[in-house]
Structures are given as C-alpha cells and as structure tokens.
Structure 1
Amino acid sequence: MKTVTKLPVIDCDVHNQLRSGKDLLPYLDEPWRSHAAQFGIPGAGLPYSSPIGNKRKDANPPGGGPVGSDPAYMLEHYVHPFNVEYALLCSDSFISASGLADADYAAALCRAYNDYVLAEWIPQSPKYKTYMCIATQDPEQAVREIDRIGPHPDIVAVSVTGGSRMPYGQRFFHPIYEACERHGLPLVMHPGAEGAGIFNPPTAVGHVTNYLQWHTCLSQTFMAHLVSFVCDGVFEKYPNFKVVLCEGGVTWLPPLLWRLDKNYKALRSSVPWLKRLPSEYVRDHIFITTQPIEEPDNPKHLAAMFEMFDAENMLLFSSDYPHWDFDDPTKILRWLPEDKQRKIFSENARKLFRL
C-alpha cells in the first residue's frame, strides 16, 4: 500500500469562537460594554438554519464550551495531528458585524474581537495567526482599525463577509483597500451572513427558502463581487492589493472569466481604466480556498477544470475546521502531483501571507 506523504499544511480557514459573549466584555469600550453585559452580543441574524447543525460533534472541547472555543484543544484535536504549520483563524461571528445597523457598535465589536484574539488565542501557540475583523458600514472607522493593529506580526489579513449592501469593487470601499495595500494585508471574503441584517438578499432573485438553497447559491455572491473588483478598477488603482475568496467554491471561475473576457472585448469603453483582460487581473490578484470544493462523480472532470485556470498558483488549502463540511488535508487532492499539492497546501499561502 502506498504511503501518503504528510505534506506541511497552512490552513487558511480555521474557525475560532468565544466561550461566551462575556469573553469580549473586557475588550469592549463603553457604552458598548454595558450594552453587551445587559443584552448580550448582537448578531446579524441569518434567516436560515442548517438541519444538521454546522459543527463537527467530535470537536467539542472536553472541558465544555462551544466547538472551536478552546485553543488548547484545537491544537490537540486538529493542528498537531494533521501537520498544520499555521492555522489562520477566521472568526465565526464577527465577520458578520457589517450586517448590524449601528455602525459604531459594529466597529466596537470588531475592535474588541481583534484585541481578544490577540490576547487569548495567539499566545497559545506560534502556529496560530489571525485575520482581523472590520465593519464595512463606515470605511473611515475600518481604516483606523487596520492602521491600529494591521502592523501586528500575527495579523495576516483583513476579513469581511460576502454579505453586503453593494458590490465590493465600488468606490465606497476603496479606502479600506488602500489601507490593506499600505500594510501588505490581503482581504479575505468569507460567507456566513448573506441575507442577514441590513445586507441585500443572498441571491439575485431574493431570499431563498432554506439553508440548502442558501448554501448552494453562495457562489453567486462571490461572482458578483469578483466582477465588481475587476470592472470597477480596484486592481488597477491598487496594484499590490490581493483578495482571497474563501469558502465560495472553485469551479465556477473559468466559465465566469470566459464570459467576462468576451464581454470586455466588445464593451471595454465602459471600463476605460482597465489596461488588460479581466482574467489577467484575476490571475494576478485573486486567490481561492479549496473548501468546499466541488466534487463530481468523475474525478477527471475536476482535473479538467483545474486545467482551465491557474489552479496550482491560485488555490489555498482550507479545511473549514470545525464545521460539518470539514476537508481532511490528508485525503483531498491526492491525485495531484506532489509539487502542485505542496503549492496548494502551503507554499501559495506562505508567500501571500508572508509567513
């Protein structure tokens, strides 16, 4: 039997949680601390629930508390056994702060979360790095937060959710990207609150009925934001800025770029700031995480899709630990040659996040 080489892993989507909302209180400014102490930490309120839950039952901390809330147990249960060199922490809750109506409260929650994870998770292991959270309702406050803690060596990116009131390429958000570029931080876009709070509906035709439809249609959001990033000139304006599309699927990318390139050739006068084909900007500025990767019945079909874009240089491994659709890094993509596996499982992320 052939032995599977245990390649080093940089996991670009590991979800950590608070033990309870009380964890955040010491890091919140007033008057928000008193509000949170009395009424709890607000959420954007996603109108869908998974019929199977959204966490692995075997990941429950033995000492109690929510799944993903114990940094020591995460090391024991996942990071060390799976040869994870770095686990990049992505908040389960605070990426959705942009869905709250109160922009000041949302910004305060993000500041508190960022300070909490730096104080209580990062010191637990040098394997932990983190994405900082920002609230996008007020770009000026978001920029102040990036400037405040963006230089911290354990912060490797700025995270937002796919839920939004407008496409992310629009000029309203550009100050955020200028700050990201100034600090050398990629923007990581992760789903979780599409259709919640003050966000637009999660699909182009409105709210769907259930979690199955919501989860399946998340790629629509990623497509719309990607087209906006390119066509609104973000990558021409900020040539060193990078974007990671996290947990939004993979194989929709080639046909979208074929369509976009074709339309650009006829309609380029509407985007005179673009100097190259849209697909060329995407190849240089966009990264995509592997989980949840589409898995056709015939594996050759997925291999063919990988040939249709620069998969070996654009893909970043992610497990989505400890969620229900966790991808085991010792089992996925083993049909790829080892040099390509090594790029996807660690080297692309090492370069992008300057690890």
Structure 2
Amino acid sequence: MDNNEPLLIDTDVHIQVGNIMPYLPKVWQSQWKTHGIGLGYMYHSPIRVSRSDAVPERGGAPGSDPDFLISDHMDRYGIDYAILNGNALALSLHPDPDYANAIITAFNDCLVDTWLKVSPRFKGSMFVNASDPAAAAKEIRRIGEHPDIVQIIMASATRMLYGQRFYHPIYEAAEQLGLPVAIHPGTEGVGVSGAPTPSGYPTRYMEWHNILPTNYMAHINSLVCEGVFEKFPRLTFVAIEGGVAWLPHLMWRMDKNYKALRDSTPWLKRLPSEYIKAHIRLTTQPIEEPDDPNHFLQICRMIDAEKTLMFSSDYPHWDNDNPNMIFRGMDKGLKHRIMAGTAADLYGLARRPIYPGTVSGGMSE
C-alpha cells in the first residue's frame, strides 16, 4: 500500500448545515422562518437521535461546528476524509416542490461556503429533490462539478421505487458528472412517502428502526430489475445506514427467480447479483454483530465486501460506530478496503489530504 493512500474514510458524518437565510430567495424566507422543513417525525427516540457528548464546546447542536467535528471526531480517530451528509433529506417528501427545490439549493450553497471551505478533509453530499427529477438534474449540473462535492444524496423514503423511469433524469445527470447516488434512512413515514412498511405503520421507534432495511431491499431490487445499470452502466448507488446482513438473501432470491422469470426483464444481461456487486455499495453502520464473529466474516465473503462495503461512523448519532472497535481480527487487506480503499476509489480520494499537521502530504503519526 502507498504510504500516502488514505487510511480511514468515514462515509457518513452528519452535520447541521447552518443558516441558509442568506442563500434563500426572499419569497421563501417567511415560510422557512415559521415552518422550516415543515414535516414532522412521528417516532420518538427515548435516547434522542444525537449523543449529548457531541455538543460543541461553543454551543449549538451536535454536528453544527466544523472545528469541533474535526477535533472531536476526525482527529480523535485519525480520519482522513469525512463525507458530510446534511439535515435536509425530508425535503424530497414535501408536497410543495417549488419550496423544496428552493430550500435544497440554499442548503447546497451553504454547505459549500460554511463546511467545504473549512478543511480539505471535508467532502460533501449534495441534496436533490427526488420528487422533482427535472429540477434535481438541473441542480446536479449546477453544483455537481464543485471539486468537493463527491456524491448526491436522497431520502430512502419515496413515493415510488427508485428503479422506475420517473427517476432516470437524476441518474443521467449523475452519470454524466461521475457522481454516485446515495440514499439515507430516517424519513420513512414522513410527508408524501407513505407507510414505512408494506403493511402499515410500526408503533414505536425501535420497531420502526429495526425494519428499515426492507426499504433498501425494495429499492435495490427495483434498480436492478428495471435495468437502471444497463441504461446507466457507470452509475454507482450507495445504500447508507441500511445494514449489511440482508444482502446475501436478496441476491440469492433475485438470482433464483431470474433463472425462471428472465423473460420479464429481457434487458438484463447478467445475474442480478452481478449487477449488485458491480454497482451497489453499502456502508457499515449500524454494523450487525452476531455472537459468533465468524458469521459476519462469512457474510463479507458472500457480498465481496472488499468491493462493496465502506466504513461509516454515523457520527454524532446515538448508535455511531467507533472505528477502533469494529472489525477486530479481520484480515488486514479486507479491513483496509472497508475502512478506506473502496471509498477512495468511489469518491476519487486516492491521496491523503494536505492540511496543517500533515507531513509530506500524509497525516502525521
């Protein structure tokens, strides 16, 4: 391994973007002041969403202070790059697309000015309004060429499955600019998205949280079966914070059914599992922890984890993962791919960033 390759890339760090009012057209400012995003979350976490010990020293919400995030999280664990994911996912589920589009544009501009300019270690996920694909594609082309924007992020909750043609303008723009498209949970059951499960609404937060991977299974199944990766062969789709252990089952089931039902998807030229391994990336948090650690290693082999799995902490949330505590005893080559190699390939982060404290282009020990 090259000594200047990144050693640790965190693919899911949550931030509060900041004050978007200076970036927002006047016509929307009153509504933003009084209602904000305007879509409530119905499930209450008894331990809150963010950790109380992640409150910045200067005050404010966890994830709101770039300097504190660097010292409290990145410097503490030797993280070379953090992929920043902001707090505007629910806007894709707003019933007013014009309002959602205006707020999303303001969020993206604020992200660039208040976070991405702070440190070369910060890389950003830009928001789009997935419910308005034409506007989303326009926004991708407007800001997606910024050198520190490395990903497009959308809510995993939707009105329709993400493989359907309605969303293809988003993928066309993403492919043209070489940006992966990611989804993130947390809005299932919010706004115009419908119930969090095919059978309705869970009762409590724990029940809702447990079942989130089923939505990811549905989207990946849709993306493959609708032929998205044949139409957009350079597109990568990132499933953030959706778990890992369910993927072998999904691949086995899809491959089995494809052998008998392939006439219904004549555009597919490979087994579904082959598309998944080539185009889908997963993040580790919340990592499944079976009683026997060998069982997780078996899952890693089943999904070609050296190519498909990327480390994420989910900082500063209550269930975030400590990079020093996971994957103990794992083969060093596989661990490096998960902790940095695959993300470096995907996001174009082949070298460690240069910033105060680095030595010869690499982080100081």
1:123-152 C-alpha deviation (Å, 9 max, x unpaired): 111100100000111111101100000000
Q: Which residue of 2 aligns with 1:155?
A: 149
Question: What corresponds to 1:33 in structure 2?
Answer: 29
Partner Cα separation in structure 2 for residue 309 and residue 193 of structure 1:
27
CA contact (8 A) 1:10 1:84 kept: yes
State the 1:339 CA deviation: 1.1
- Asked if the contact 2:17/2:107 (under 8 Å) is kept, the reply is no
- The TM-score, its normalising length taken from structure 2, stands at 0.93
What is the CA–CA distance in structure 2 between the aligned matches of 1:133 and 1:18, rounded to whole Å? 11
Tell me whether 1:55 sits opposite 2:54 in the alignment.
no
Counterparts of 1:221-300 in structure 2, within 5 Å, are 221-300=215-294
State which of 327, 343, 347 in structure 2 corresponds to 1:333.
Answer: 327
The answer as to 2:199 corresponding to 1:200 is no
Cα distance in structure 1, aligned partners of 2:235 and 2:264: 23
Say whether the 8 Å CA contact 1:46–1:197 is kept in structure 2.
no
**Aligned residue in 2 for 1:318:** 312
Tell me what 2:83 maps to.
88
SS of alignment partner, residue 185 of structure 1: coil
Match of 1:106 among 100, 107, 111: 100
Equivalent pair of 2:195/2:201 in contact (CA under 8 Å): yes
Deviations 1:272-325 (A, max 9, x none): 110110000001000000000111111121112112120111100000000001
- Judge conservation of contact 1:44–1:193 (CA < 8 Å) in 2: no
Aligned length: 344
Which residue pairs with 1:9 in the alignment? Answer: 8
Structure 1 residue ranges without an equivalent (≥5): 1-6
2:28 corresponds to which letter in structure 1?
A: W
- The answer on whether the counterparts of 1:46 and 1:194 sit within 8 Å (CA) in structure 2 is no
Specify the code of the residue in structure 1 equivalent to 2:27. Answer: P
What corresponds to 2:126 in structure 1? 132
Deviations 1:14-63 (A, max 9, x none): 000145xxx111111231123223x1412432211111101111111111
Is residue 72 of structure 1 aligned with residue 72 of structure 2?
A: no
Task: Give the equivalent residue in structure 1 for 2:336.
Answer: 342
SS in 2 for 1:169: coil
Q: Distance in 1 between matches of 2:309 and 2:114?
A: 30
Whichever residue aligns with residue 54 of structure 2, its letter is A
SS of the residue corresponding to residue 31 of structure 1 reads helix
DSSP 3-state at the match of 1:282: helix
Change (3 A) 1:317 1:239: same
C-alpha distance in structure 1 between counterparts of 2:39 and 2:32, whole Å: 15
TM superposition outliers: structure 1 runs of 4+ over 4 Å: none
Contact 2:17 2:115 in 1 (8 A): no
Q: Does the 8 Å CA contact 2:17/2:114 hold for their aligned counterparts?
A: no
Aligned residue for 2:355?
none
For 2:17 and 2:83, locate their aligned partners in 1 and report how far apart those are by CA, in whole Å. Answer: 16
Among the aligned pairs, what percent are the same residue? 48
Q: Distance in 2 between matches of 1:335 and 1:110?
A: 42
Native 8 Å contact 1:15 1:322 kept in 2: yes
Deviates more, 1:163-172 or 1:199-208: 199-208
SS at match of 2:303: coil
Partner residue, 1:166: 160
Cα distance in 2 between the residues matched to 1:130 and 1:220: 27
Match of 2:37 among 39, 42, 49: 42
- 3-state DSSP class of the match of 1:307? helix
Report the 3-state secondary structure (helix = DSSP H, G, I; strand = E; otherwise coil) of the residue aligned with 2:117.
Answer: helix
Q: Is the partner of 1:69 in helix, strand or coil?
A: coil
Separation in 2, partners of 1:130, 1:44: 24
Letter in 2 for 1:55: S
> 3-state SS of the aligned residue for 2:80?
strand
Partner residue in 2 for 1:3:
none
Gaps of 5+ in 2: 1-5, 350-365
1:24 equivalent in alignment to 2:45: no
